[in-house]
Structure 1
Amino acid sequence: MLVALIGYGIVLFARQVLNDGDTYWHIAAGDWILRNGFVPHADPFSFSAAGAPWVAQEWLSEVTMALAYKAGAWDAIVMLFGAVTALAFGLLAHFLRRWLTQPAAMVLFILAAACVAPSLLTRPHILVLPILVLWSAGLILAKDKGTSPSLLLLPLMLLWANLHASFVFGLVLTLPIALEALVETKADRGRVVRSWGIFFVAATAVSLLTPNGLHGLLYPFEVLSMPHLSFIGEFAPTDFGKFQPLEGILMALLYFAFTRQIRLPIPRLILLIGLLHLALQHGRNQMIAGIVGALILAEPIGRALGGGRDESADCLPSVRWAFLGLAYVMLLTVFRVAHPVVHTDDGASPTTALNHVPAEILRQPVFNSYEFGGYLIFRNIKPFIDGRADVYGDEFLANYVAATTPNGAAFERIVEKYGIRWAILNAKSTTLDMLDALPHWRRLYADRIAVVYVRDEKRQ
């Protein structure tokens, strides 16, 4: 309960949870679905990829976010994500205490939560964190009990598949846990293969019950196969040039492995190596590695420490503590409502700069920094590019990267092809000097967040 309450408070008041442009287009997409009554399969937002195929994999998250925004603007958004984060943290702490006593459980929780911190944003991947915890723990507990996973996990998979594309990881996670169950079984291995096999097939079938069907299952692999995906910060390899939570976990794990006799079954060790690979390949995967890694290591670490299961793990908080927790939540919520979130200029929101663009120019094709695309959609302005890399495709991304390298010739080709009339760029973009030097382009407005350019054919 303690870590749940802390998680709620952090999201409620940490300004950086809103500092991501994708939040804007997710809300806009949810609003579009509510207004039109169906999930789009073609891009309705950009002008450069208008009508291109779009797998709206996170449609349920987007509808939820749009409803929250309609109910209470940004205050309701942070309350929604604060509540989900609290639930995820509380569940993770609960399951860790099944295998670890204190303070080991708290230390492992802190390491896992640190891996979540860089990705703690108001985006759909946070809405599935409680499902990730329940699904992973459910598989591990089933293996420990020598039974097949509970059928109650299947509704979780249905929800997961409609909330976020990471549901594919949940399906894949079933395989090494099933293999571990098979290896540890001394007799009747046929029963293990049948029970886990039936569960895997059922979970896969349930995951197809989305507006995108089979395409939704293939979609994550299509996105991850794009060669220029690493241009997007969260898909770039983990950068150890600055301290990363994953680095702290690796150091702690190495220390523990060399000072204690920790033993992992081969399937679980392979899973741990796979999680490490994912986290190193794409920085955003640190979150998954932290949560699932903590759950698969909890029992072996508890055994190595010589401690037993925490008998208080199943105890409900007393009425006194439950009342204090509820009072804490209500106090924070009232304080948040009394001091509403004002979401204005930041790294993803060029609010002031956009307000200085004349209305007749806003209707013209724009060239924008990648991180500003979501905000433009939110303001009903069709962007050149936004966070939906799959809509634009790898060739488009390659051309965009070339133009912003910067490369004047590549930029001019884009201008001519799409009839670009103006540009709004990050104030720290390396593209600024290029536009300042190009003929026909002049600065209309500049501040610490963004710079607006207008193409003037008469200028020489």
Structure 2
Amino acid sequence: MTDPRASFSLRSFRLGMPPLTGLMIPAIYALALFSSGLLGDGDTFWHVASGNWILAHRAVPHVDPFSYTFVGQPWTAHEWLSEVLFAAAFDLAGWSGVLILTSLAVALTAILLAGVLARYMGVLATWLTTMVALGCVTPSLLARPHMLALPAMAAWTIALLRARARNTTPGLPVLVIMVVWANLHGSFALGLALTIAFAVEAVADRPDARLRTAGRWGGFFLLAVLAARLTPNGWHGLLFPVELIRMPELARIAEWQPINVARNPAPEVALLALVYIALTRRLSLPPIRLLILMGLIHLCLHHVRNSMVVGVIAPLILAAPLGRALDGREGAEGAFHKPGHPAREVVVLICALLLVTGGRLLRPVTLDDSNMTPISALNSLPAAVTARPVLNAYQFGGYLIFRGIRPFVDGRADMYRSFINDYRGLTDYPDHADFARAAERFHLGWTIFPSDSAIGQMLDTQPGWRRVYSDRFAVVHMRVADDDGVAKPK
């Protein structure tokens, strides 16, 4: 039988939380909504463009419709539902709508986390744990599909924990979460892995009925796999996350590199706090859950992206043990939890969220020139130039797609694969002869790179090319028919 100390009762789970915790949700929503970094990634722009393509064609693309180097080549739009949601939000309220949608996903995740934590902890512990958890999410706080998947990740984990507390399997309605999650983002594969882990724990805890328990959890896992297959990509979509993780090219992408605690101290703070509590308060976890936690920490240390996974899943697994270690509580209503009025609390929460949303809408988000959005540079070019093939900076690719310009390369590394390495060799270590060959091969007509890039500086002396625009974010060079051999910087 399951250790009663590890019980995870959600019988009275509701939005009614301690006042301080309840006020925390609108504050988290506001912090996310007015964050300057939500649009700080070039992939956001091609996600919106992809969503608009899907809405316009009423179909999910299976080949690349955007670049000119890979147009017509196979492409798995595995985040199509997120892209449609982003596009709809953009069409409704511009970039403010995209930020609102992303921030609502953060707020909903915070509600799920705080609602569970408040069952086992006092107000201050709930507040601190939730904030540290969301601090782990901060490096990935971008208007991209992985943020929309966080509520599904939390809800799926809660459903598994609830089933284990009841010595049963999750109900069939829970599979709806998996269907939605699989169409939002590839992190659904983690949900399947968690299901296997909890199935093993269930079998180990029932020595008197292991075969029956294995059959029930095995059946649920197969249903979960079938639910994850209900995407436009079918079985390929189910295997795609595994294929993506195995790509060696990911090592060169920032979010797939090891975590840097100097930039984001939240995971380090969380780990040190956990070690302190474990050594001073007799924090204990069942073996399987300890292995899950160790696996999450391993993923977090190796990839920046997985910091958000720790921030969402680890607090849910640790809720009951932390509650016992900190307050000696088992999940019952405690001194910090007053009866309250759930309906009133929901109304107050909704009103607070609407008020913050109104503040955002009154100050519409407008894009300025940045390291991801070379707006002025593109506005300076006539359509006849931008219609020609371009060699662009990797981070500019998403915005080029959004502007209707076919890029040389963009953030869809899963499609370009080894082509990315050839591109990096061309742009990171520029050579006049290599560039001349690439220009002929791809019929390049212009280039756009950051103003301080090595290739941008090299092109100032590239025969047959001339600088036609530059500012502090971007420099544009254009191919010319006749040249004296040394272009004159403009």
- Normalised by the length of structure 2, the TM-score is 0.89
Aligned partner of 1:353 in structure 2 is: 377
Given the superposition, is the C-alpha separation of residues 303 and 331 from structure 1 closer, same or farther in structure 2, using an over 3 Å criterion?
A: closer
Say if 2:26 and 2:349, in contact at 8 Å, map to a contact too. yes
CA–CA separation in structure 2 for the residues paired with 1:221 and 1:457 = 47
CA RMSD of aligned residues (A): 1.9
Aligned partner of 2:482 in structure 1 is: 458
Say if 1:230 and 1:237, in contact at 8 Å, map to a contact too. no
Q: Compare 402-411 and 271-280 and name the one that shifted more.
A: 402-411
Instruction: Select which of 422, 431, 443 maps to 2:446.
Output: 422
Cα distance, 1:385 vs. partner? 0.8
Say if 1:361 and 1:422, in contact at 8 Å, map to a contact too. yes
- Is 1:404 the counterpart of 2:404? The answer is no
Instruction: Select which of 466, 471, 475 maps to 1:442.
Output: 466
Cα distance, 1:426 vs. partner? 2.0
- Normalised by the length of structure 1, the TM-score is 0.95
Aligned partner of 1:92 in structure 2 is: 113
Cα distance, 1:243 vs. partner? 4.1
Give the 3-state SS of the residue equivalent to 1:443 in structure 2. strand
Given the superposition, is the C-alpha separation of residues 177 and 440 from structure 1 closer, same or farther in structure 2, using an over 3 Å criterion?
A: same
Instruction: Select which of 55, 58, 80 maps to 2:76.
Output: 55
Aligned partner of 1:82 in structure 2 is: 103
- Is 1:9 the counterpart of 2:2? The answer is no
Q: Compare 432-441 and 253-262 and name the one that shifted more.
A: 432-441
Gap regions ≥5 residues in structure 2 = 1-21, 486-490
Say if 1:402 and 1:410, in contact at 8 Å, map to a contact too. no
CA–CA separation in structure 1 for the residues paired with 2:462 and 2:253 = 26
More helix by share: 1
One-letter identity of the residue aligned with 2:210: R
- Is 1:290 the counterpart of 2:311? The answer is yes
**1:39-438 matches, cutoff 5 A:** 39-305=60-326, 306-311=328-333, 317=341, 321-393=345-417, 395-408=418-431, 409-438=433-462
One-letter identity of the residue aligned with 2:447: A
Give the 3-state SS of the residue equivalent to 2:467 in structure 1. strand
Cα distance, 1:4 vs. partner? 2.3
Give the 3-state SS of the residue equivalent to 2:37 in structure 1. helix
For residues 368-420 of structure 1, give each alpha carbon's deviation from its aligned partner in whole angstroms, at most 9, with x where no partner exists.
11111111011000001111111112x20110111222231544443232112
One-letter identity of the residue aligned with 1:399: D
Given the superposition, is the C-alpha separation of residues 314 and 138 from structure 1 closer, same or farther in structure 2, using an over 3 Å criterion?
A: farther
For residues 138-168 of structure 1, give each alpha carbon's deviation from its aligned partner in whole angstroms, at most 9, with x where no partner exists.
1112112211122221001011111111111
For residues 422-453 of structure 1, give each alpha carbon's deviation from its aligned partner in whole angstroms, at most 9, with x where no partner exists.
11112343433333343333221111221111
Aligned partner of 2:59 in structure 1 is: 38
Gap regions ≥5 residues in structure 1 = none
Identity of aligned residues (%): 43
CA–CA separation in structure 1 for the residues paired with 2:451 and 2:128 = 40
Cα distance, 1:81 vs. partner? 1.8
Give the 3-state SS of the residue equivalent to 2:476 in structure 1. strand
